[in-house]
Each structure stands twice: as C-alpha cells, then as structure tokens.
Structure 1
Amino acid sequence: MRFLALGDSYTIGEGVDEGERWPVRLAGLLRERGLDVGDPRIIARTGWTTDELSAAIDDADPRGPYALVTLLIGVNNQYRGRDAEEYRTQFTDLLRRAIGFADGKASRVVVLSIPDWSVTPFADGRDRAQIAAEIDAYNAINRDEARRAGAHWVDVTPQSRAAGADPAFLVSDGLHPSGRAYAEWARLALPAAVEALGR
C-alpha cells in the first residue's frame, strides 16, 4: 500500500536520520501489524509554509491513489506571523488535495497537529505564551477542518509540550524533535493510520 506524507521540517525530520522520521517509523509500525505498507513518499522541506508546500506538490506531481496520506503543516505560517484565516484557506486547500491523492477518500487521510516550539530552548527570549496561543489557534483550525472533511486528526501537541525542553527529545539546534520524539508521534498516529487503512 502506497503512503504519501506531506509537510515541512517535522515531516522531513530536520536533524535526524531518514529512518528516524515519524512517517518512516509509522510505516514500520504498520508493517509490524501485518499491513503491507511501503516506505512513504515524502514531500516536505524545512521552512515550508502552506502555500510553499502546495507549490512543491505542483512540482512533484504525485500520482495517486495512495492508501494513506498524512498532512502536518502550519508552524512556519505561525513563525512568520501569517494570518490565521489565510492559514485556514490554504490548509483547507491542501487537505482537499490530500483527499484527492487518497482516491477521494477522506478516511484515508491523517492530519497531525502542529507541535508547540514555545517550550524549546530556541524560543528563549521570545513571547512563549503568545507562541503557544497562536499554535493553539492554528491547531483549532486544522482540527476543525480535518473533522469537517471526515479525515482523521491526531494531537501530538501535548507530547511536544511535555517533552519539548528535554534535550533527549530535541536535536542539536534546540528546536526540532529528535528520533525519540518522532517515535512517540508515530505511536500516537498509529491507531488513526490503522483505521485509515481499513483494519
């Protein structure tokens, strides 16, 4: 079964080995449960916003159908101070595209929440409360739009807040999650992915 993962630095796994990326770990967990899932095709890059991801999808031109599509995007919109309603419009368009890649079946799409980087050392000297509030607002949007469309929604934000200041859960830049953190995300996403694949 083909697997497409769409996103930004959190999906490409900035600072970790390829095998530690959460989509790769998720595929492994699915195979352990007897689901014949291939390695994910990943369209993601550090720094991408919603519109940049959309443009990259145009360039990559992935051809469905995919049995599973994941979408995690928005932290760079927040980081750049972009408008939340702009995010809603662009996220909804990306979600529509993700559903299209899943053969028009929203039940095959899994959306992950945006982790909260306000708890990381990278946020030192910044308004941590404001960052957290903006992340919450963005996540309310991606949660509501995912549920409205009939896609799955997985909340990894509490894990990011609980572990975000622990060096074991971060790479050397003090911002991006480590392989240990991504293993937790894969575990959190597993039930939704199993359901998406019809088992």
Structure 2
Amino acid sequence: MTGASGGELRYLALGDSYTIGEAVEPDQRWPQQLVARLRDDGIAVADPQIIAVTGWTTDELSAGMDAATLVPPYDLVSLSIGVNNQYRGRDTENYRREFAALLQRAIALAGRRAQRVFVVSIPDWGATRFGIESGRDVATIARELDAFNTINREEALRENVAWADVAAISRQAGAAAAELADDGLHPSGRQYSAWLATILPAARTALSSP
C-alpha cells in the first residue's frame, strides 16, 4: 500500500494533550505507537504529522489548523478533541457544532474520503489521581464526558467515520501509577498502548478503504 504520491502513507493526527502525548516521550504517544504497529503489519507509514497542543478546545484546534502547514490529501486522519471543552464547562450544543465542523475539515484533508478518517473518544480524566484529588465530583465528570462522547460518536457515524472508544480503557486504568504519566493526569505510554486495542482496528479499517 502506498500513499497518494506513491510513497509512504501520510497520517495527520488532530487533537489536544492526549494526541500530543503530554508528559510522555514522543515514541510513547499513541499516534506514534500506532504508526509503529502499522509498520509491523508491513504498512509503510510516515511519521505522523501532529496538530495538537495541551489545553486545546475545539475552537483552538480549528485555529491551530488554520495556522499549520497542511498538505492534503492525507491517507489517514484522526480526530480526538473535547476534554477541555468539558473541563471549562462549555455546553454540549457548542461542542456538537464545533466538533462537526472539525470533522468536516478532517474529511476534506483526507481528500473527501470519510472512510480514511477515524475519531477517538475522550478518556475520563476524573478517574485519574489528578481527578480524584481535584475536589470535583468524579461522577459528574463521567456523566458529562459520556454526553460529549455520545456527540462525537453520533457525528462520526453520521459521516461514516470509524470511532474508537478509549473511555472504558481509561476508567479501567483509573489512578494506577503505571497507567499514568508523572503528572497523575495524562496516560502513560503503557496506557496509550492499551488504547491501540480500539484505535488500531479503526485505523486498519480506514486504510483498507479506497
């Protein structure tokens, strides 16, 4: 399998702290681990181009994309965004509108091939050591994140885009030290490896489409 230009497949990862791998080494980020696994499968994929910054909300990701040098069409595009919308108390209607717009941009960047795009759900930060010690109601955090993830799943399905759910994995990992980076909030490389149980099949399905 080769990219649109005949060389390695090109992968664009759009997101926030989880995509950029806050507090872990670059090779432990899930997009980089994904590429490594695809290469193990004999699929020639270039290192991912990552447009993501810790703390970004949906509108900030959109602005970051405006400022980035993007050269479509990409052979694979992932989108994972929304935790900071929830953290800052933004409403779900705003999230749906801005997420849907970002998903349309992701599809356009994949050469209008929706099947070459996949969405990754929002993990539950309330289950982490940071979340437990934050003083916020972790049950409320979980309910709100479930509502946000319902939205990004619905929008993905509406556009025939694959959806990878990592929320359950993050809740199972919880506050275990080995599953978290040193900040007690973001996943460790080990937890990101576990995320591939749902992300890798989504990426393989995307790459198998025309």
TM bucket normalised to smaller: over 0.9
CA–CA separation in structure 2 for the residues paired with 1:32 and 1:187: 15
Matches within 5 A, 1:118-197: 118-123=126-131, 124=133, 125-197=135-207
Is 1:70 matched up with 2:84?
A: no
Name 2:50's counterpart in structure 1.
42
TM-score normalised by structure 1 residue count: 0.98
CA–CA separation in structure 2 for the residues paired with 1:170 and 1:133: 22
| SS of aligned partner of 1:146 | helix
Q: How far does residue 163 in structure 1 lie from its aligned partner after superposition?
A: 0.2
Q: How far does residue 164 in structure 1 lie from its aligned partner after superposition?
A: 2.1
Is 1:84 matched up with 2:87?
A: no
Alignment RMSD, CA only? 0.9
Name 1:33's counterpart in structure 2.
41
CA–CA separation in structure 2 for the residues paired with 1:172 and 1:30: 28
Q: Which runs of 5+ in 2 are unaligned?
A: 1-8
Aligned residues: 199
Q: What is the percentage of aligned positions where both structures have the same residue? A: 59
Name 2:31's counterpart in structure 1.
23
Q: How far does residue 112 in structure 1 lie from its aligned partner after superposition?
A: 0.4
| SS of aligned partner of 1:51 | helix
Amino acid at match of 1:161: R
CA–CA separation in structure 2 for the residues paired with 1:182 and 1:86: 28
Q: Deviations over 1:126-180 (max 9, x none)?
A: 1101000000000000000000001000000000000021110101111000000
Q: After TM superposition, what 4+ stretches of structure 1 lie above 4 angstroms from structure 2? A: none
Amino acid at match of 1:6: L
TM-score normalised by structure 2 residue count: 0.93
Q: Which runs of 5+ in 1 are unaligned?
A: none
Amino acid at match of 1:168: A
